[in-house]
C-alpha cells in the first residue's frame, strides 16, 4: 500500500471522518433496525424472491420483452443489474458515458445470456445537452426497431462520490447533477413513455443509507454551484444531500402520480443497496479505499455487486403495490427511510426549487434564433 500526499490530506479532513465513522455506524444502525423489526414481528416477513413473467404482447400474442433503461450500466451495481435483468428477459438499454465500457459490458452479458437483447447509448449524465440528445436517439431507436413507444422500467443508478469541487457546463455541482438532477431530467423526459406502457411500469432510484446523515437542509440548486467553487469541498455531505434529494423527489413523484390517478400503473421505488464493492470510491486515494473495503469486509458489511444488486432487482420485480416503499437489505426486505425524507413540506419545496432545471431544459429545447 502506497501512502501518498493526497491520502494524508484526505485523512486530515473532516469529511473523511464523516465517511469513515458516521457512514459505517449508520449502516450498522440500518441493519440493526431491520433485524430487530424482524425479531419482534410475530410473523416474520417472508424473504421474498420476485420473479417476473414476460409480458405477453396484447396485440400479437407472442411474447414481447419489456424495456428497461439502466443508467451507469458499465460498472458495479449498474452492470450487475443489467446482467440480472437481461437474464429475466428484459430488453436492456444500457446508458453509460464511455463507448468502450459499454461495448465491454455488452460482450460480458452476451457471454452469459446468449439471447439477451441489449442496446447501448453513450450519454454523459452530467450534461443536460447530452440527456436531450439521448431522448432523440432513444425515441428514434424505438421507432426504427418497431417497438411500442413505451418504457416498462427505468433504473436511475448512475452516481459518483466526487472528492473535489467541479462545476458542470450547466453550472451545477457535478456530483449533484450526476446523482440527482440527471435522474430528475431523465425521469421527466421518459415519464410519457413510462405512462404509455400497457403493462404496469416503474421507476427505481438507487439511493443510499447515507441520506440519513444529511440533516441541516440547505438544498438550493443554485447554491450548490456556489458551494462548488469554494475551496474546501464538503464531499461527504454533498453526497448525502444528493441521495436525500433523490429520495424526497421519489416520494413526491409517487404522491403526485397517485394523487393525479389513484390507480396509476406507474410505481416509484427507491432502493438502498447497502455497501457494495464497486468503483464508487475511485476518487479516494487507493490506499484508503482498499483499507475501507478491508475493514468493511472484516465487519461482514461489504457485499459483492452480484449480492448487493439483489435489492435493486427486488425493487424492479416486486408487485406494483409496493410503490413508494424503501427497499433495503435484499431478499425483498423494506424499511423506513429517514424522517426528513418523508417531510412533504420539504419535498414540495425541493420540487419547486428543482423547477429551475426545467427552465434550463426549455432553453436548450428552443431553437437557436
Ligand atoms: N457501492 C456502494 O456501496 C453504494 C452504496 C449505496 C449506494 N450506491 C449507489 O449505487 C449507484 C451505483 O454505484 P456503484 O457503486 O455501482 O459505482 P460505480 O461502480 O462507480 O458505477 C457508477 C456508474 O455510473 C456511471 N457514471 C458516473 N458518472 C456518469 C455520467 N456523468 N454519465 C454517465 N454515467 C456515469 C459510471 O460510468 P463510468 O464507468 O464510465 O465511470 C458507472 O457505470 C450510485 O448511485 C451509488 O451512489 C452505492
Ligand atoms: C403511446 O402509444 C401509442 C400506441 O399504442 C402511440 O400512438 C402514442 O404515440 C404513444 N404515446 C407516446 C407519448 O409515445
Ligand atoms: C429552496 O430554495 C430556497 C431559496 O433558494 C432555499 O432557502 C431552500 O432551502 C430550498 N429548499 C429546498 C428543500 O431545496
Ligand atoms: C427518482 O428520482 C427522480 C429525481 O429525483 C424523481 O423525479 C423520481 O420521482 C424518482 N423516482 C423514484 C421511483 O424514486
Ligand atoms: C401486494 O399484492 C400481493 C399479491 O399480489 C399481496 O400478497 C400483498 O399482500 C400485497 N401487499 C400490500 C402491501 O398490499
Q: Residue ranges per domain, the chain?
A: 49-276+308-368
How far is the centre of ligand 3, averaged over its atoms, from the C-alpha of 234 (Å)? Answer: 18
Rounded distance from Cα 195 to ligand 5 centre (Å): 22
Ligand 3 pocket residue status of 353, Cβ below 6 Å: yes
CA 156 to ligand 4: nearest atom: 1
At residue 49, does pLDDT exceed 80? no
Distance CA 120, CA 133 (A): 14
pTM given for the model: 0.89
Q: How high is the pLDDT of residue 102?
A: 98
The whole-angstrom separation of Cα 69 and Cα 85 is 10
CATH class for the domain made up of 49-276+308-368: alpha beta
CA-based R_g, the chain, Å: 20
pLDDT value of position 101? 97
State the average pLDDT over residues 209-224: 69
Closest ligand 5 atom to Cα of 325: 13
Please report how many Cα atoms fall inside a 13 Å half-sphere around the Cα of residue 281, on the Cβ side: 19
Q: Which residues pair with 156 in a beta bridge?
A: 205
Each residue's pLDDT tens digit, 220-266? 556 566 565 666 788 888 899 889 988 888 888 888 888 888 888 88
15 alpha carbon, distance to own chain's centre = 23
- DSSP 8-class letter at 321: G
**Residue 332, Ramachandran bin (φ over 0: left; ψ between -120 and 50: alpha; else beta):** left
Predicted pLDDT at 10? 85
Mean pLDDT of 121-146: 96
Angle at CA of residue 204, ends 199 and 210, nearest 5° = 165
For residue 343 and ligand 3, the question of a CB distance below 6 A is answered with no
Query: Is residue 5 pLDDT above 50, yes or no?
Result: yes
C-alpha cell at 18: 464523516
**Does the beta carbon of 321 lie inside 6 Å of ligand 5?**
yes
For the Cβ of 44 lying below 6 angstroms from any atom of ligand 5, the answer is no
Amino acid at each position: 500500500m502506497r501512502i501518498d500526499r493526497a491520502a494524508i490530506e484526505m485523512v486530515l479532513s473532516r469529511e473523511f471522518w464523516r465517511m469513515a465513522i458516521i457512514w459505517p455506524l449508520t449502516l450498522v444502525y440500518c441493519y440493526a433496525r431491520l433485524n430487530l423489526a424482524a425479531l419482534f414481528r410475530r410473523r416474520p416477513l417472508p424473504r421474498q424472491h420476485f420473479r417476473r413473467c414476460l409480458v405477453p404482447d396484447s396485440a400479437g400474442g407472442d411474447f414481447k420483452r419489456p424495456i428497461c433503461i439502466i443508467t451507469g450500466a458499465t460498472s458495479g451495481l449498474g452492470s450487475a443489474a443489467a446482467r440480472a435483468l437481461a437474464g429475466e428477459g428484459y430488453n436492456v438499454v444500457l446508458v453509460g458515458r464511455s463507448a468502450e465500457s459499454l461495448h465491454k459490458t455488452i460482450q460480458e452479458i452476451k457471454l452469459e445470456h446468449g439471447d439477451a437483447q441489449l442496446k447501448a447509448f453513450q450519454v454523459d449524465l452530467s450534461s443536460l445537452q447530452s440527456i436531450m440528445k439521448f431522448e432523440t436517439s432513444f425515441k428514434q431507436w424505438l421507432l426504427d426497431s418497431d417497438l411500442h413507444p413505451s418504457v416498462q422500467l427505468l433504473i436511475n443508478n448512475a452516481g459518483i462520490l466526487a472528492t473535489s469541487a467541479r462545476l458542470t457546463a450547466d453550472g451545477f455541482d457535478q456530483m449533484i447533477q450526476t446523482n440527482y438532477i440527471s435522474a430528475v431530467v431523465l425521469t421527466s423526459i421518459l415519464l410519457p413513455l413510462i405512462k404509455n406502457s400497457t403493462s404496469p411500469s416503474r421507476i427505481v432510484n438507487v439511493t443510499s443509507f447515507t441520506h440519513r446523515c444529511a440533516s441541516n437542509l440547505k438544498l438550493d440548486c443554485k447554491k450548490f454551484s456556489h458551494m462548488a467553487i469554494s475551496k474546501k469541498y464538503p464531499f461527504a455531505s454533498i453526497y448525502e444531500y444528493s441521495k436525500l434529494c433523490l429520495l424526497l423527489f421519489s416520494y413526491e413523484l409517487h404522491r403526485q402520480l397517485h394523487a393525479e390517478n389513484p390507480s396509476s400503473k406507474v410505481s416509484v421505488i427507491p432502493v438502498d443497496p447497502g455497501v457494495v464493492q464497486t468503483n464508487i470510491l475511485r476518487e479516494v486515494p487507493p490506499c484508503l479505499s482498499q483499507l475501507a473495503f478491508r475493514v468493511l469486509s472484516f465487519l461482514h458489511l461489504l457485499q459483492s455487486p452480484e449480492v448487493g444488486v439483489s435489492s435493486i432487482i427486488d425493487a424492479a420485480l416486486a408487485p406494483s403495490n409496493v410503490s413508494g416503499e424503501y427497499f433495503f437489505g435484499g431478499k425483498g426486505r423494506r424499511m423506513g427511510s429517514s424522517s426528513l425524507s418523508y417531510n412533504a413540506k420539504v419535498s414540495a419545496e425541493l420540487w419547486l426549487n428543482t423547477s429551475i432545471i426545467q427552465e434550463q431544459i426549455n432553453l436548450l429545447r428552443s431553437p437557436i434564433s
